[in-house]
Amino acid sequence: MLLNRNQDICAAELDGEICLFNPQSAAYLHLNSTGSSIWNLLEAPTALDDLINKLQVLYAVDLDTCRSETESFVAAALEKGMLLQSQPV
């Protein structure tokens, strides 16, 4: 499964952090610096494991913590429609 940004989402950077707005649901999400990094890393469709590996390098965090925190963020972003899942081509 690949993670993709929802192309309908409006994104803006404010003070180094990204704010997202879903016009279909009127949901708003303010990303902290880590969430903003995840959003930026998902500029192209990316597998969850690849995303976690990139985040481990960026933040020098252990695998279990990185996986847990990333999966939690991704689940919330999927629920709010900010991210989508797709099958690899």
Asked if 27 and 11 count as a contact pair (C-beta separation under 8 A), the reply is no
- The answer to whether the CB of 70 falls within 8 A of the CB of 48 is yes
Quick: pLDDT tens for 40-62.
999 999 999 999 999 999 999 99
Whole-angstrom CA distances from 38 to 11, 44, 89 are: 13, 11, 22
One digit per residue, pLDDT tens: the chain, 89 residues? 899 999 999 999 988 899 999 999 888 889 999 999 999 999 999 999 999 999 999 999 999 999 999 999 999 999 989 999 988 77
Q: Which helix H or strand E contains 3, and what residues bound it?
A: strand 2-5
SS3 call for 8: coil
